[in-house]
Structure 1
Amino acid sequence: MASENSATESLQLNLGSLRSAMSLTLHTHHASRIWHGRAATEGKPGIVGLNGFVSIMNKLKRGAEQDDPYSDWWMLCIEDKLALTKEQLQILRQQVDQALADVPPALSLGENMNVQPVRLPLFVSSQLGFMAVYLLADYDDLARRLILAHHTALIDRSTLERWLNDGAHALRSLFSLAQQYRYSGTRRDDFAANNAAARAAVEKFGELPQDVLEGTRRSRFAPPLIRRGQTNTAQSGITNQTPSPVGEAADTPADDSENPTEGAKDSESDHV
Structure 2
Amino acid sequence: MNSQQAIPQEKENTATGVKQAADGPGALRGQAWLTVQTRQAQQLIRGRNSSTDKPAIIGLVGFADRLRVIWQAARDDDPYADWWLIKVHQALDQARGFIGSHQEELDKQLAQMPALEVEVAQSQRPYRIRLQFANPYAYQGAQLIAAYDTLVRTVMTCRHIGLLDNEDTEGIVKLGARKVRGTFVVPQGYRLLGIDRNRLLRGSGRDPRACQLMGELPEEVLSGERRAPLVPRKVAFPMAVARSLALEPLSYPDRENHDG
TM class by shorter-chain length? Answer: 0.7 to 0.9
Counterparts of 1:142-153 in structure 2 under 5 Å? 142-153=151-162
* Cα distance in structure 1, aligned partners of 2:217 and 2:205: 16
Tell me what 2:110 maps to. 100
Cα distance in 1 for partners of 2:50, 2:166 equals 29
Is the 1:92–1:167 contact (alpha carbons within 8 Å) kept by the matching residues of 2? no
Alignment partner, residue 32 of structure 2: 22
Residue in 1 that maps onto 2:143:
134
Asked if the contact 1:76–1:218 (Cα under 8 Å) also holds between the matched residues in 2, the reply is: yes
What does residue range 170-209 of structure 1 map to in structure 2 within 5 Å? 170-194=179-203, 198-209=207-218
How high is the TM-score relative to the length of structure 2?
Answer: 0.77
Q: Please identify runs of 4+ aligned residues in structure 1 that moved more than 6 A.
A: none
Cα separation, 2, equivalents of 1:17 and 1:169: 39
- Partners of 2:169 and 2:205 in 1: how far apart? 54
Secondary structure, counterpart of 1:168 in structure 2: helix
Q: Report the Cα distance in structure 2 between the residues aligned to 1:220 and 1:132, rounded to whole angstroms.
A: 15
Structure 2: distance between partners of 1:80 and 1:215: 18
Q: Structure 2: how far apart are the matches of 1:172 and 1:43?
A: 19
Among all aligned residue pairs of Structure 1 and Structure 2, give the percentage whose two residues are the same amino acid.
28
Which one of the candidate residues 26, 36, 55 is aligned to 2:65? 55
Matches for 1:2-81 after TM superposition, within 5 Å = 4-5=14-15, 18-81=28-91
- Tell me which protein shows more strand as a share of its residues: 2
Query: Measured at CA, do residues 4 and 95 of structure 1 come closer, stay the same or move farther in structure 2, by a change above 3 Å?
Result: same
Shift of 1:61: 0.8
- CA radius of gyration, larger in: 2
Q: Is the 8 A contact 1:25 1:119 kept in 2?
A: yes
Instruction: Report the Cα offset of residue 200 of structure 1.
Output: 4.1
The CA distance in 1 between the partners of 2:233 and 2:225, in whole Å, is 12
Q: Which runs of 5 or more structure 2 residues have no equivalent in the other structure?
A: 1-10, 240-259
In 2: Cα distance, 1:204 partner to 1:145 partner: 41
Highest RCO, 1 vs 2 (Cα 8 Å, sep ≥ 6): 1
The 5 A counterparts of 1:119-268 are 119-194=128-203, 198-227=207-236
Aligned partner letter, 1:148:
T
Deviation at 1:198, TM superposition (A): 4.1
Give the Cα–Cα distance (whole angstroms) in 1 for the partners of residues 232 and 17 of structure 2.
Answer: 30
Letter matched to residue 175 of structure 2: D
Give TM-score scaled by structure 1 length: 0.73
